[in-house]
Amino acid sequence: MTFKAHRQEEILTDKFNRVIDYVRISVTDRCDFRCVYCMDDKMQFVPRAQLLTLEEIAKIAQVFTELGVKKIRITGGEPLIRRNVIKLFEYIGQLPRLGELVLTTNASQLTKLAQPLKDAGVKRINISLDSLNAEKFKRITRVGELDNVLAGIAAAAAVGFEKIKLNSVILKNRNDDEIIDLVRYASDRNMDISFIEEMPLGIIGDHDRAEAYYSSDQIKNDLEQFFTLVATTKTTGGPAKYYKLAETGTHVGFISPHSHNFCDQCNRVRLTCEGRLLLCLGQEHSVDLRKTLRAYPDDMDKLKQAIRDAMLIKPKGHDFDLTEKPLIFRHMNVTGG
């Protein structure tokens, strides 16, 4: 069975009885940054004609909520550089069965878009920030301007989202000396912070992932020299394990696909900007929803059935190994991190 009635509302389950109630939607694979762990510096982007239109994304999002999805995250690439994307936020924000509309961004557009996002119903945002040093920030993002990002974070704080969480990827010898500063920056602003272990998605010519690997356990150990970490049961419906800093009350999360596999609790699927439904971040299993949508533009039942059927091929889990050539050839910006 791929679905069952639940208080007259459908819910999506996979063949391992995991309930799928969270969808991450990549609205573009393009980005104004070129982070070394995410993209090659000579990235080939998807031709525009192959992208889902905003209207198509809106339809798919609506159908997912009718199938029981409660949480939608808009991501990319950099989602906020897609033209007219605020219209999509406004549409999804008013879907009656949706519990939560959230966003992941690099903050480069937030000085102008923080308020429209809040008005559209976005409650929580995740902001990627790997360094507080302008030079190192540029080295990691290849082109990003730290001042603009910090101004974007300040703008987001000023409009009053319910929660802002920072995401940092720590790379050995690049920014591993900034862990404490990043945590202090977050706690001073009443923000939470999560550290994400780098995942081997796509080949990146000038970046050695195995050499740059810095584990969650190492980060935790570094933090323990300055803070008391108290384990919590906090969850945001994601794979992060959270600790609370006794000194500041800040929640610090660790997303550790290598050191602590989280697949048995997986509740999510991902939609790429081309309309491919990815059933697992670390596997290639996918279903082409764009094909169904374009073949039957006025029949949402066909789309619903394609999504239910897709649940049957959701794999049990991933098996990342940084020392091997990547098994997954799509980059994170295509995947929708």
Residues in the site for ligand SAM, rule: CB under 6 A?
Answer: 31, 37-38, 75-76, 78, 104-106, 128, 167, 169, 196, 198-199, 201, 332-333, 337
The CB density around residue 12, as the number of other CB atoms within 10 Å, is 24
| CA–CA separation, 16 and 84 (whole Å) | 38
Half-sphere exposure of 226 (CA within 13 A, CB side): 12
User: Applying CB under 6 A, which of residues 22, 33, 195, 214 lies at the interface with ligand SF4?
Assistant: 33
| CA–CA separation, 59 and 292 (whole Å) | 12
User: Which residue, 46 or 300, is less far from ligand SAM as judged by CB?
Assistant: 46
Residue 34, binding choice from ligand SF4, ligand SAM, none, Cβ under 5 to 8 Å by partner class? ligand SF4
User: Which residue, 12 or 201, is less far from ligand SAM as judged by CB?
Assistant: 201
Residue 196, binding choice from ligand SF4, ligand SAM, none, Cβ under 5 to 8 Å by partner class? ligand SAM
**What is the nearest approach in angstroms of ligand SF4 to the Cβ of residue 154?**
18
**What is the nearest approach in angstroms of ligand SAM to the Cβ of residue 175?**
12
Distances (CA, A) of 266 to 270, 290, 292: 12, 24, 25
| CA–CA separation, 254 and 128 (whole Å) | 14
User: Which residue, 104 or 250, is less far from ligand SF4 as judged by CB?
Assistant: 104
Residue 18, binding choice from ligand SF4, ligand SAM, none, Cβ under 5 to 8 Å by partner class? none
Residue 270 is encoded by which pair of tokens?
Answer: 């991902």
**What is the nearest approach in angstroms of ligand SAM to the Cβ of residue 219?**
14
User: Which residue, 14 or 78, is less far from ligand SF4 as judged by CB?
Assistant: 78
Nearest alpha-carbon partner for 38 in 144, 112, 110: 144
Q: Answer yes or no whether residue 78 interacts with ligand SF4 by CB under 6 A.
A: yes
Distances (CA, A) of 88 to 60, 73, 291: 12, 12, 21
| CA–CA separation, 208 and 148 (whole Å) | 28
Q: Answer yes or no whether residue 76 interacts with ligand SF4 by CB under 6 A.
A: yes
Asked if residue 276 lies in contact with residue 23, where contact means CB atoms within 8 angstroms, the answer is no
Q: Answer yes or no whether residue 202 interacts with ligand SF4 by CB under 6 A.
A: no
At 271, phi and psi to the nearest 5? Answer: -110, 125
Asked if residue 295 lies in contact with residue 49, where contact means CB atoms within 8 angstroms, the answer is no
What are the strands of the beta sheet with 3-6, ordered from one edge?
A: 3-6, 9-13, 19-20
Q: Answer yes or no whether residue 63 interacts with ligand SF4 by CB under 6 A.
A: no
Residue nearest to ligand SAM (CB): 337
Residue 198, binding choice from ligand SF4, ligand SAM, none, Cβ under 5 to 8 Å by partner class? ligand SAM
**What is the nearest approach in angstroms of ligand SF4 to the Cβ of residue 115?**
21
**What is the nearest approach in angstroms of ligand SF4 to the Cβ of residue 135?**
17
User: Which residue, 17 or 173, is less far from ligand SAM as judged by CB?
Assistant: 173
# residues near ligand SF4 by CB under 6 A: 13
Nearest alpha-carbon partner for 219 in 187, 182, 166, 191: 182
| CA 59 to centroid of chain Cα atoms | 21
Nearest alpha-carbon partner for 90 in 127, 117, 61: 117
User: Applying CB under 6 A, which of residues 65, 106, 109, 267 lies at the interface with ligand SF4?
Assistant: 106
Half-sphere exposure of 263 (CA within 13 A, CB side): 18
Q: Answer yes or no whether residue 34 interacts with ligand SF4 by CB under 6 A.
A: yes
**What is the nearest approach in angstroms of ligand SAM to the Cβ of residue 308?**
28
Which three-class secondary structure state does DSSP give residue 71?
A: strand
**What is the nearest approach in angstroms of ligand SF4 to the Cβ of residue 297?**
30
Which residues here bind ligand SF4, judged by CB under 6 A?
Answer: 31, 33-35, 38-39, 76-78, 106, 128, 332-333
